[in-house]
């Protein structure tokens, strides 16, 4: 499936892996995919803003070889995105780029609560269950971030340094451990293929990843919906973009 990904989609996948590595997360999840999509909205910044000897798009000597979720190399078959990043344009048009800090904070709170979204918190509150109070008690007994699903809370490195960029550097001569994709993240990637086929598109772009993230309930979909970005709005924005093009 990964051979169908456009360059922008591949950059999102690679960026998601790096976000997981930077925060020390055990797996690459929906949150990391969303953060990597938001990276694409930064003007003049691709591949999560990282460069290698002045080049963007790779961490090694051969940036044309792309590694997919299964660790398989796909040498030189990445297709160039002549029309830029559709997902970045849509997220910017819908205001997500300007609200990135708020989105990051929301994702951090979800992880701190052990994966419970804001919508879940409200639903449980209706049953008389105060999730924030429970989290506070657990953290009082076991430390801040005790309920985090994997790795430290997004927004801080393992050393407690604010921001997503890790202050750690891998030891020379040692390859970093490869992060597997979570079941939810794999479902997003598979769903992006089905969405692309349903739309009559031959390749999977970052816009299909964005549609897949918002198409079903999940951490990313709930957080985006709280920031006025829904599947219907994304689809409408893509249609408007295609009409202008």
**Which of the four pLDDT bands, split at 50, 70 and 90, describes residue 244?**
confident
- DSSP three-state, residue 196: helix
- Residue recorded with tokens 């993240």: 185
> For 3-31, what is the mean pLDDT?
91
Task: Please check whether residue 132 lies inside any domain of the structure.
Answer: yes
Task: Please check whether residue 66 lies inside any domain of the structure.
Answer: no
Give the chain's domain count. Answer: 1
Task: Please check whether residue 115 lies inside any domain of the structure.
Answer: yes
Instruction: Evaluate the CA torsion angle 21, 25, 27, 31 in order and state its sign.
Output: negative
Task: Please check whether residue 159 lies inside any domain of the structure.
Answer: yes
pLDDT in tens, 53-110: 333 333 333 433 444 555 444 443 334 343 468 999 999 999 999 999 999 999 988 8
**Which of the four pLDDT bands, split at 50, 70 and 90, describes residue 245?**
low
pLDDT of res. 90? 95
pLDDT in tens, 140-170: 788 777 777 544 334 333 333 233 333 334 4
Residue 160 Cα distances to 19, 138, 143, angstroms:
15, 20, 14
- Which residues, 6 or more positions from 82, have their beta carbon under 8 angstroms from its beta carbon? none
**Do residues 227 and 103 make contact, with C-beta atoms less than 8 angstroms apart?**
yes
Give Rg (Cα) of the chain.
18
Task: Please check whether residue 224 lies inside any domain of the structure.
Answer: yes
Task: Please check whether residue 60 lies inside any domain of the structure.
Answer: no
**Do residues 35 and 220 make contact, with C-beta atoms less than 8 angstroms apart?**
no
Give the pTM: 0.70
234 bridge partner residues: none
> For 185-197, what is the mean pLDDT?
95
Task: Please check whether residue 65 lies inside any domain of the structure.
Answer: no
> For 239-243, what is the mean pLDDT?
89
Task: Please check whether residue 151 lies inside any domain of the structure.
Answer: yes
> For 23-40, what is the mean pLDDT?
91
Residues in the chain: 245
Q: Write down the mean pLDDT value for the chain.
A: 75
- Which residues, 6 or more positions from 61, have their beta carbon under 8 angstroms from its beta carbon? 52
* Containing structural domain, residue 90: 2-55+83-169+179-244
pLDDT of res. 69? 56
Most confident residue range from 32-46, 156-170, 176-190, 231-245: 231-245
Please state which of the ranges 78-87, 218-227, 236-245 shows the lowest mean pLDDT.
78-87
pLDDT of res. 29? 93
The fraction of the chain above a pLDDT of 90, given in percent, is 44
Question: Which CATH number characterizes residue 128's domain?
Answer: 1.10.1780.10
pLDDT of res. 206? 96
């Amino acid at each position: 499936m990964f051979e169908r990904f456009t360059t922008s989609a591949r950059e999102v996948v690679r960026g998601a892996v790096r976000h997981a590595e930077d925060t020390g997360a055990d797996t690459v999840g929906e949150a990391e995919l969303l953060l990597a999509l938001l990276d694409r909205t930064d003007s003049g910044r691709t591949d999560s803003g990282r460069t290698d000897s002045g080049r963007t798009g790779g961490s090694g000597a051969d940036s044309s070889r792309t590694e997919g979720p299964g660790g398989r190399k796909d040498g030189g078959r990445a297709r160039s995105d002549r029309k830029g990043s559709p997902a970045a344009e849509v997220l910017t048009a819908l205001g997500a780029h300007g609200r990135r800090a708020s989105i990051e904070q929301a994702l951090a709170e979800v992880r701190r609560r052990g994966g419970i979204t804001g919508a879940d918190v409200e639903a449980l509150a209706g049953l008389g269950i105060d999730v924030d109070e429970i989290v506070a008690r657990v953290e009082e007994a076991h430390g801040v971030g005790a309920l985090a699903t994997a790795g430290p809370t997004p927004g801080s490195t393992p050393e407690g340094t604010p921001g997503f960029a890790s202050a750690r550097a891998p030891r020379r001569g040692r390859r970093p451990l490869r992060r597997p994709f979570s079941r939810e993240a794999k479902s997003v990637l598979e769903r992006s293929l089905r969405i692309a086929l349903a739309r009559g598109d031959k390749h999977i772009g970052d816009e299909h990843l964005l549609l897949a993230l918002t198409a079903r309930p999940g951490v990313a979909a709930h957080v985006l919906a709280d920031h006025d970005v829904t599947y219907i709005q994304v689809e409408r924005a893509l249609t408007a973009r295609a009409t202008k093009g």
